[in-house]
Structure 1
Amino acid sequence: MTATKRQIKPLNQPDIVAQFEAKARRLAGRTSENQLRFLKVAKAKGKEMEPVGRMAGVRA
């Protein structure tokens, strides 16, 4: 078996980042009203409403 050679593209190129962003937005679909409401509340309340400790999960 021969090893395949892959060329890794750097992600710091603006055109590649724009392609990933466009694909992500296309796959994400439309943002629902409920999601928008959560985002608006999160923006208004800030970090003080973020969970801490065990509620935040395990950090690796």
Structure 2
Amino acid sequence: MKQKKQNSKPLMAAQFKAEARMMLANRSVKQSRFIEIAIAKGRELEPVGRMAG
């Protein structure tokens, strides 16, 4: 029987942060602009209900 590999939560969080930073470093100008607009407009323009799924 195989045993599951145990990872601590702080280690997993650090790995996720490192991966996210790598992804953000490789984004295009268009993707950057999209993210900037989303941050500026806020959550009020987010779809809710059936549109969100």
Verify same fold: TM over 0.5: yes
> C-alpha distance in 1, partners of 2:49/2:32?
27
TM-score, length basis structure 1: 0.63
Q: 1:6 to 1:53 in 2, by over 3 A?
A: closer
Match of 1:10 among 8, 11, 21: 8
Deviating beyond 3 angstroms after TM superposition, the runs of 4 or more aligned structure 1 residues are: none
TM-score, length basis structure 2: 0.69
Identity of aligned residues (%): 42
Q: 1:42 to 1:35 in 2, by over 3 A?
A: same
Greater percentage in helix: 2
